[in-house]
Amino acid sequence: MKPRVFLVKILQYACRIDRQEDRMSMLDALKDRLTFDHGGVHPPEYKERTRDLELEPFPVPDRVTVPLLQHIGSPAAAVVEKKDEVKKGQLIGEAQGFISANVHAPVSGTVKSVTKALHSPTGKKVPAVVIDNDDEDQWAEGCAQKRDMSSMDRDEAVDLVQEGGIVGLGGAAFPSHVKLSPPPEKDISHVFINGAECEPFVTCDYRLMVEKTAQVVDALRLLMWIVEAPHGHIGIEANKPEAIRAFRKACQEHDDISIYELETKYPQGAEQQLIQAVTGREVPAEGGLPADVGCLVHNVATALAIRDAIKYGIPLIQRAVTVTGAGAEKPGNYVMPIGTSLNDIVSHVGMSEHTRRVVLGGPMMGVAQGELDVPLIKGNNCVLMLEEADVEPQRDCIRCGRCVENCPLRLVPSDISVACENEDWDAALEADILECKECGCCAYVCPANRRIVHQIKFGKAEINKREE
């Protein structure tokens, strides 16, 4: 272990004994760039094409298709019918249970149909509402109006997040009101804004950080108030110096907020890795959550969406998206209505004739799409157009151990993938397949070019079928 890292570990241990509250500032002074202590990779960043391009509004399409499953949990149930007139921000899908999320109309217009549409993460068809835009941009009653916060209590604020259909915009799409409602025995002392954005190509969160710095800080203070946390943290990878400078300047008067420069390493933006890098706390394996170690993490876009829902009555009907890749003729960072189709995106941006693959998400965790008639959902932060590349065939596992060395969760991906190939689901479960976050580090470093993440995704789907 390097001497500097060893010294940090000693400090982490000492501070956990009786002065946890002082540990953050001491670590920050000692070590410029924090990171998690096991695994991870540093793939080429490919952010230069869009990093300096400001956010711009995407043309509102003539028709949007809004899936009623855009989140972890139960699908929303349609509350509109064909030919209904709807306004922007109106509820069109009602959450079914606590682990679910409302869905709202991103445009005003007429419901063309309640049908099924492709779900980009799974490739399956899910219930959806199709709306023809009337170009009048009329908000539903009560939406987009500044609220009086002086008499609002914390429970009311969480209710507004739930009503607004806010989910995690970093990719997981976990309903945000659930995170903001920890069990009474879970004392949340540290709230994080996750500004790592470690996935290659993606720059939309970076643009939010440099263009809406004050709003992000305001969102963090709001989150700290909701869960009564005394400490706020903003973690940003070192490859985003402009964002780091902006937040350090904006937080000079906020003694309870710390800014952390994180080592540029993937997956630095994963919740467990961010928490471990900054606090030394380990989220428990086998279903553990950040709340188990007194932490709450929201990425930049999610925090801003929570702020908009509480303070201005704006439900989650649009999001920032990076459109990039060698195949994108007009790359950029766009603010797009939920339900915009890939066809509309490709038509506006332009796609090279050499493009062979369109991925929703980044190259490490995104999902390649089989067609372009796929709507944008809340969890999609990137549209990546890739030109043809040589892909070597996979070979049998050579037991080199690189996947084990680079797995941030200390799993044995080789054993999991081999079990999935053999359709030995008991062995896959024994190897903790369900703990895998599908970050892709294992496949990235595999010298045998094994499609490890693909096999794990397939295995999880088969295990779910068996359980059902």
Nearest to 235 by CA among 214, 205, 255: 205
The share of the chain scoring above pLDDT 70, in percent, equals 93
Please indicate, yes or no, whether residues 174 and 36 belong to a single structural domain of this protein.
yes
pLDDT tens, position by position, 65-115: 999 999 988 999 999 999 999 999 999 999 999 999 999 999 999 999 999
Residue 229 near residue 188 (C-beta atoms within 8 A): yes
Domain end marker among 312, 342, 357: 312
Position 255 scores a pLDDT of 94
Position 158 scores a pLDDT of 97
Position 338 scores a pLDDT of 98
Residue 76 near residue 100 (C-beta atoms within 8 A): yes
pLDDT tens, position by position, 244-275: 999 999 999 999 999 999 999 999 999 999 99
pLDDT band, residue 233 (cuts 50/70/90): very high
337-357 average pLDDT score: 96
Provide the CB-side half-sphere exposure for 119 (13 A, CA). Answer: 16
Please state, in angstroms and rounded to a whole number, the distance separating the CA atoms of residues 194 and 235: 6
Kindly give the residue spans of alpha helices, DSSP state H, lying in 410-451.
413-421, 425-430, 441-445
Nearest to 336 by CA among 57, 4, 96: 57
pLDDT-wise least confident of 243-257, 298-312, 380-394: 380-394
Q: Is the dihedral of CA 120, 121, 126, 132 positive or negative?
A: negative
Interacting residues of 245 by C-beta distance below 8 A, sequence separation 6+: none
Please state, in angstroms and rounded to a whole number, the distance separating the CA atoms of residues 464 and 458: 10
Position 13 scores a pLDDT of 37
Q: Tell me if 84 is assigned to some domain.
A: no
Q: Tell me if 157 is assigned to some domain.
A: no
Is the omega angle on the peptide bond into residue 267 within 30 degrees of 0, that is, cis? yes
Please indicate, yes or no, whether residues 415 and 306 belong to a single structural domain of this protein.
no
Q: Tell me if 182 is assigned to some domain.
A: yes
Residue 354 has pLDDT above 80, yes or no: yes
Domain end marker among 312, 347, 376: 312
Nearest to 86 by CA among 335, 372, 307, 315: 315
**Residue 171, by phi and psi: left (phi above 0), alpha (psi -120 to 50) or beta?**
left
Tokens of 457: 């995704």
Please indicate, yes or no, whether residues 306 and 455 belong to a single structural domain of this protein.
no
Q: Tell me if 34 is assigned to some domain.
A: yes
Q: Tell me if 321 is assigned to some domain.
A: no
* Amino acid at the residue 81: E
Q: Tell me if 137 is assigned to some domain.
A: no
Position 287 scores a pLDDT of 80
Q: Tell me if 335 is assigned to some domain.
A: no
Cα distances from 88 to residues 7, 110, 144, 305, in angstroms, run: 55, 11, 10, 16
Please indicate, yes or no, whether residues 308 and 413 belong to a single structural domain of this protein.
no
Residue 40 near residue 408 (C-beta atoms within 8 A): yes
Please indicate, yes or no, whether residues 280 and 406 belong to a single structural domain of this protein.
no
Domain end marker among 312, 336, 360: 312
Residue 391 has pLDDT above 90, yes or no: no
Cα distances from 327 to residues 96, 254, 330, in angstroms, run: 39, 43, 9
The share of the chain scoring above pLDDT 90, in percent, equals 85
Please indicate, yes or no, whether residues 196 and 300 belong to a single structural domain of this protein.
yes
Position 210 scores a pLDDT of 98
Position 19 scores a pLDDT of 40
Position 181 scores a pLDDT of 95
Please state, in angstroms and rounded to a whole number, the distance separating the CA atoms of residues 118 and 130: 12
Q: What is the rounded average pLDDT for all residues in the chain?
A: 91
Please indicate, yes or no, whether residues 303 and 413 belong to a single structural domain of this protein.
no
Please state, in angstroms and rounded to a whole number, the distance separating the CA atoms of residues 333 and 319: 10
Please indicate, yes or no, whether residues 34 and 182 belong to a single structural domain of this protein.
yes
DSSP secondary-structure letter at 104? E
Please indicate, yes or no, whether residues 307 and 448 belong to a single structural domain of this protein.
no
Q: Tell me if 239 is assigned to some domain.
A: yes
Range of the domain at 413: 402-467
Kindly give the residue spans of alpha helices, DSSP state H, lying in 121-280.
154-163, 176-179, 204-211, 213-227, 241-250, 271-279
CATH of the domain at 29: 3.40.50.11540
Position 32 scores a pLDDT of 59
* Amino acid at the residue 372: L
Please indicate, yes or no, whether residues 284 and 406 belong to a single structural domain of this protein.
no
Using CA atoms of 333, 45, 441, 406 in order, give the dihedral in degrees to the nearest 10. -140
DSSP secondary-structure letter at 100? B
Domain count, the chain: 2
Please state, in angstroms and rounded to a whole number, the distance separating the CA atoms of residues 140 and 243: 35
Please indicate, yes or no, whether residues 425 and 306 belong to a single structural domain of this protein.
no
| pTM for the full predicted model | 0.91
Position 123 scores a pLDDT of 84
pLDDT-wise least confident of 25-29, 162-166, 433-437: 25-29
pLDDT tens, position by position, 278-299: 999 999 987 889 999 999 999 9
Residues constituting the chain: 468
pLDDT tens, position by position, 123-146: 889 999 999 999 999 999 999 999
